[in-house]
Chains A and B, each alone.
Chain A
């Protein structure tokens, strides 16, 4: 009894020792409490103190408007993470539901949904987002919409193909035979069978979504300029790179790299964990 408890504890500690989990916990802390940790107001420029090099007063230096880079990086973490999370939750939810429906219904519904997905996927992500922003304007809400729409096809395809074998499974037949309607079967029997895939995909697409948000903000779309966002901060600092002023763009860039790497690592770990526990 005692031995098994010890083993559990050891296992947990070993999990924490893995770099992605450890870094992710730090990231989570920053996302949750970033605004409290930030030494300055990220929206209060100091025109007297522009492009100051990193020092004890400004750890990451200041940018061309005199904003404190560290504060802005911390605030931006919250914006980037929450936008990507909400977008992926919406897109992933709709995508999984449609994918499961396609797998369950088959035939014409399946055909229609797959062609719809192909149409969306045939546009490059950035071009698609650009068109959407041109049509409905920028802002956080539309950024979430873009993330959601970009994620729907991915989820739909993967969930559909992983659930396809269930269409002929006997217990699905038995469920229909017991008088359950289509929607109930999709939600009760199809979706739970793709739990693992949905979760892995969810983690991966969160990382992807952060990249998209940063990329769109870099070209001046999405999150509106005075608000801190990693992509737009890189863009703002990019003009001064040639002058040797590296800090306004390198620190947010580093933040993107670390977040995406950590989240991807988390998903890899989750997948290997899944494979091991299923054996």
Chain B
């Protein structure tokens, strides 16, 4: 099967002022196939989010890629300039954030935020964007999309805000969706609802998902493949059923023991 996203031996360095560099990624290999859900698990600070940020080139100040290759659809994207990334962010690859409320601008109505992304990426009129946003909200299980679209982020619950975020990520129909712990801030029932919505939308768009989480249950449930990360490296990568039932690396074993799955 052809891979949608391929990351090979990726090294990232973050330089800080006092010449003491951090190396959050030290040789990461990762493949995401077409219409495939890949999970990434690992402890905090092991570099899970850093992989997503490197793929989109949204590294923190002073961060850059030292070695390795990232390719999308077989084309290398890590050699391209920033203008190129502006053309793929949101359109080919988009991202869902951990904290749904703070990922929305506090001063704009949410409907406007969704339709703006569509309008900036695809030259559409205001009305088209707004209608699309309403349709999308409806398909994401929001009961009264017309009313909700006029709300501000602080007027919503976490689950609702996360649906808005998902709508924003999906509005331009990307091929790859990066999810940075999208369900961490939600309670268990909302979490399930959001995940199911995400799943149906992914099938509708026939898109792939790279799902970062430290919740092993969720990853086991929705991902076909899983990578276990530890200290900037992927120590184990394979089909999720295999990894969870028969872990080979000692770190994976201890992780599973802690989670008691």
Contact = CB atoms under 8 A, between A and B. Distances in A.
Interface of A: 106-107, 169-171, 173-181, 184, 188-189, 192-193, 195
A179 B86 contact: yes
A171 B117 contact: no
Given A174-B95, A177-B94, A169 B87 contact: no
Nearest to B122: A179
B102 A177 contact: no
22 contacts: A169-B102, A170-B103, A171-B106, A174-B95, A175-B105, A177-B56, A177-B90, A177-B94, A178-B89, A178-B94, A178-B117, A178-B120, A178-B168, A179-B91, A179-B94, A179-B117, A181-B120, A188-B105, A188-B108, A188-B116, A189-B105, A193-B107
A107 B97 CA distance: 25
SS of A interface (majority): helix
Contacts of B120: 178-181, 184
A177 B58 contact: yes
B121 A179 contact: yes
Contacts of A195: 107
Interface residues of B, number: 28
B61 A106 contact: yes
A195 B105 CA distance: 14
Given A170-B97, A173-B58, A184-B120, A178 B90 contact: yes
A109 to B, nearest CB: 13
A224 to B, nearest CB: 45
B90 A181 contact: no
B29 interface: no
Nearest to A193: B107
A169 B99 CA distance: 11
A177 B95 contact: yes
Nearest to A184: B120
**Residue in A107, A174, A175, A176 with the greatest tally of chain B CB atoms within 10 Å:** A174
Interface in B52-107: 56, 58, 61, 86-91, 94-95, 97, 99, 102-107
